[in-house]
Amino acid sequence: MSENKHISIPKNVETGDQTDFHFLRRTGIEYIEKLGGKLWTDYNSHDPGITTLEVLSYAITDLGMRMNLNTEDLLASKDASKDIHTQFLKATEILPSRPLNELDYRKLFIDISMEPDYKRPVLNCWLVPRTEKMYVDCKTGNLDFNPIGEKTSNFNVKGLYDLYVDYSDDLDAEGKRCERGNVNFEILERYHANRGLCEDLVEIKEIQTQKVAVCARIGLVNKADEELVHAKVLKAINNYLSPEVHFYSLKQMLDKGYPTDVIFDGPLLENGFIDTEELRKSQLRKEVRLSDIISEIMMVDGVKEIHEISIAGCDQVIKQTNDWLICIENGKKPELCDLSSFSYSKGSLPLNINDKKVQEYLITLKKEEDVLRDDAKKNKELALPQGTSYDIGNYATILNEFPDTYGVGITGIIGDRTPEREALAKQMKAYLLFFDQILAGYFKHLEKVKEVLSINGSLKRTYFTQILKNIKGFDELVSGYDKNDEDKLTDSLYEELDNSVERRNEVLDHLISRFAETFSDYTFLMKSLYGKSTDEIVLNNKENFLKEYTSLSKDRGLGYNYTLNADADVWNTTNISGVQKRIARLLGIKNYTQRNLSQSPVSIIKTAGTNGKPTYSWKIKDTGGSIVLSSVTTFQIEYAANKNLNEAIYQTIQIDQEDLEHAWERFEEDPNKYNLIGNIQIRFSAGGNYYFDILDDAGNVMATHKKTNPYAN
């Protein structure tokens, strides 16, 4: 049984042969030998055919060397609107996303700064799922948090969370307690601006502490600064009990070995980057182990040995039964209490610790962290490579590369200018002009590639060429060649070949596929609805999709921000869920804002029936109050009228664009034969009015539109 093998396209298909003049010359001669070996036997350099081959090989070598320029050089432009920074999405634009999980939300809240007083009011936080049970009355469908009705069922509501916050000690300073309210407000504001679909934050709570005492006798090396060592020991133990979350610069994250997509994963923060693994390890501890504390202390510089150490709980909430382990209550963080005691010695000499100096060291260590945080805040961007803009499209005719004896260069014929020599030179120049124009087009294409492959490309064509210059006697060789209008020349050469809409669609498909997206299903649907005009419509929608992809990708899970209640945030606004924006762009909907979908008021008309029961009909009016469409029958219930309205509108929009072209002219030509356009039937009354009836699938009239002037819109 044969083994299945994966088939893949090799990444490197470049051979480099186009830059090797000798390879091109040798390959050209091999082709000549195959095609005309019986007639052509002289392949030396003096042969005119070989000279022509060498000149063409040289031109191709020049093109190949330009193709092998650094990518940033190929994409660079002197025009700032077409330079490399307009052609690509930056890492900070395309890689980050809205918060998707607990770690993402924690990053978002830890990133809060309350400048200038508190650069870091939230030291850490933890998002805890909250269980809410809902009861439903199975008869009425009413919901309540308490059992209701005769037949009651219940279910748990998912997506609700409580946030436990570890506030900075600075917020506890005298006269600063009100600052916690500002921090909570900022947390809620950030949450609702980034809230995921079907999720909500119920309550913000301050994390409670469980006090732990550590008593230790520690031996130091002789040269150690005992106050500095003590400050570092306190910091190490506190960091073990409640691990700190640090911010890093982009360079620091790269030095850690993280790839770019991992570094920028999650929300983009204001103060730098948080190591996800470090954040994951900073969960609330369920137990404190003496062995771990010993390891933390021994890693402090200056510590030589630990003579004696023990841990104990400062309160009696949980009875301690193990000298090596203390259990921590759920929802609490362990914290070093005032009963802790540390003594230090160097050899047999006990040391006195200056507490004031220890506090100064602790402040210094904190300031060092603040400096690193500021540095991380400044370095968050991956810079795009800055290329050098070359005149890549500049092309010089190959005629001027021939020896002067050929008489085709800028100097013309040297020596006797006989009619025969002039005729031969013109024949050769005319023959070589074909290759000249093709090569000029290749050089121009290479220059335009940065615009063709740009997401912001605005080119109306996909084939390019340029005017040939510096050719002696050019007007005697070519007629009708406009040397002043490059666009006109391009159209004359490539107009029949350049299906710019189709080719631009292919380019956009390539760009869209790089984001693992596709428009294939949408394109098939549009083909069935709009026929010939599909490609252009789809092209516009693809361009809009790519231009907004940073938002469509990052915000795909974003929910509606219901805390914004100003008029500008409720209606005629982009304050909608991310999935609505994404679906709108994938379906080709141009405007996805919350707005009135139609400027034509729809009225459901209720009238009194003959038997005392009401009947219902409907009308659609334009902004001027004129009736655009109305029902032809009345209905006994309002639901039936609404259903008829929706079906009539649906049948109206099913009309194929191709069927509407010249439809009125065909009707005037033969009203009996051409009175049906898709699901619209045209009638002419004796009074001179025209009626446009909307038919259902069975051919019955559902609605009608009266028009006195058929040529009006």
Q: Of 59-68, 140-149, 581-590, give the range with the top mean pLDDT.
A: 59-68
pLDDT at position 549 over 50: yes
Reported confidence tier of residue 655, pLDDT bands at 50, 70, 90 = low
**Three-state DSSP string of 241-272:** HCCCCCCECHHHHHHCCCCHHHHCCCCCCCCC
Give whole-number Cα distances, 53 to 32, 424, 582, in Å.
10, 18, 55
Query: Which pLDDT belongs to residue 275?
Result: 93
Give whole-number Cα distances, 305 to 141, 225, 227, 295, 342, in Å.
70, 15, 17, 11, 13
On the CB side of 476, CA atoms within 13 Å amount to: 10
Query: Does the residue 659 lie in any domain?
Result: yes
Query: Which pLDDT belongs to residue 150?
Result: 76
Give the chain's domain count.
3
Give tens-digit pLDDT for 407-417: 888 888 888 88
The answer to which of 17-31, 240-254, 521-535 has the lowest mean pLDDT is: 521-535
Pick the residue with more confidence: 495 or 468? 468
In 6-121, the DSSP E strands lie at none
**8-state DSSP, 635:** B
pLDDT at position 713 over 50: no
Query: Does the residue 445 lie in any domain?
Result: no
User: Which of 206, 237, 261 is the last residue before a domain boundary?
Assistant: 206
Residue 91: other Cβ atoms inside 10 A: 19
pLDDT at position 548 over 80: yes
The DSSP code sequence of 167-196 is E-GGGGSTT-TTHHHHHHHHHHHHHHHHPB
In 505-652, the DSSP E strands lie at 602-608, 614-621, 627-631
pLDDT at position 108 over 90: yes
Share of the chain above pLDDT 70, in %: 89
Average pLDDT over residues 161-168: 91
Query: Which pLDDT belongs to residue 5?
Result: 60
Average pLDDT over residues 367-386: 80
pLDDT at position 175 over 70: no
Reported confidence tier of residue 57, pLDDT bands at 50, 70, 90 = very high
For residues 648 and 673, state if they share a domain. Answer: yes
Per DSSP, what are the bridge partners of residue 287? 327
For residues 221 and 334, state if they share a domain. Answer: yes
Query: Does the residue 537 lie in any domain?
Result: no
Which residues, at least 6 apart from 698, have a Cβ–Cβ distance to it below 8 Å?
none
Domain extent, residue 623, equals 602-707
For residues 162 and 197, state if they share a domain. Answer: yes
Query: Which pLDDT belongs to residue 372?
Result: 77
Comparing C-alpha atoms, which of 441, 462, 465 is closest to residue 451? 462
Per DSSP, what are the bridge partners of residue 341? 215
Query: Which pLDDT belongs to residue 607?
Result: 85
Which CATH number covers residue 655? 2.30.29
For residues 238 and 306, state if they share a domain. Answer: yes
For residues 166 and 220, state if they share a domain. Answer: no
Query: Which pLDDT belongs to residue 667?
Result: 67
For residues 157 and 217, state if they share a domain. Answer: no
Give tens-digit pLDDT for 6-28: 666 666 655 667 788 998 998 89
Reported confidence tier of residue 54, pLDDT bands at 50, 70, 90 = very high
Average pLDDT over residues 334-363: 89
The answer to which of 19-33, 284-298, 329-343, 651-665 has the lowest mean pLDDT is: 651-665
**Nearest-angstrom CA–CA distance, 657 and 534:** 10
- Please give the model's pTM, rounded to 2 decimal places: 0.71
For residues 272 and 181, state if they share a domain. Answer: no
Query: Does the residue 15 lie in any domain?
Result: no
User: Which of 333, 362, 378 is the last residue before a domain boundary?
Assistant: 378
Query: Which pLDDT belongs to residue 1?
Result: 44
Comparing C-alpha atoms, which of 235, 349, 334, 240 is closest to residue 286? 334
Average pLDDT of the chain is 84
For residues 273 and 194, state if they share a domain. Answer: no
Give tens-digit pLDDT for 303-315: 999 999 999 888 7
Query: Does the residue 181 lie in any domain?
Result: yes
The answer to which of 178-182, 370-374, 445-449, 528-532 has the lowest mean pLDDT is: 528-532
Which pair of structure tokens corresponds to residue 343? 């003594």
Which pair of structure tokens corresponds to residue 567? 């008029």
- Lookup result for tokens 């009638």: 683
pLDDT at position 164 over 80: yes
Comparing C-alpha atoms, which of 290, 301, 314, 170 is closest to residue 237? 290
Residue 394: other Cβ atoms inside 10 A: 13
Contact 29, 53 (CB under 8 A): yes
3-state helix, strand, coil in the chain (%, to 5): 40, 20, 40
Which residues, at least 6 apart from 460, have a Cβ–Cβ distance to it below 8 Å?
500
For residues 224 and 367, state if they share a domain. Answer: yes
Query: Does the residue 683 lie in any domain?
Result: yes
CA 339 from chain centre, in angstroms, equals 54
Give tens-digit pLDDT for 205-241: 998 888 999 999 999 998 888 899 999 999 999 989 9
For 274, counting Cβ atoms within 10 Å of its Cβ (0-12 exposed, 13-18 middle, 19+ buried), the class is: buried
Q: With b meaning 16 or more CB within 10 Å and e meaning fewer, what string describes 409-441?
A: beeebeeeeeeeeeeebeebbeebbebbbebbb
For residues 167 and 218, state if they share a domain. Answer: no
For residues 224 and 328, state if they share a domain. Answer: yes
Mark residue 341 as left, alpha or beta (left: phi above 0; alpha: psi -120 to 50; beta: remaining): beta
For 131, counting Cβ atoms within 10 Å of its Cβ (0-12 exposed, 13-18 middle, 19+ buried), the class is: exposed
pLDDT at position 190 over 90: yes
Reported confidence tier of residue 280, pLDDT bands at 50, 70, 90 = very high
Query: Which pLDDT belongs to residue 506?
Result: 86
User: Which of 206, 240, 262 is the last residue before a domain boundary?
Assistant: 206
Reported confidence tier of residue 204, pLDDT bands at 50, 70, 90 = very high
Q: Are strands 287-289 and 208-220 parallel, antiparallel or unpaired?
A: unpaired
Which residues, at least 6 apart from 689, have a Cβ–Cβ distance to it below 8 Å?
706, 707, 708
For residues 187 and 228, state if they share a domain. Answer: no
Query: Does the residue 386 lie in any domain?
Result: no
Contact 462, 452 (CB under 8 A): yes
Contact 346, 254 (CB under 8 A): no
Average pLDDT over residues 144-164: 86
Query: Does the residue 675 lie in any domain?
Result: yes
Average pLDDT over residues 529-558: 81
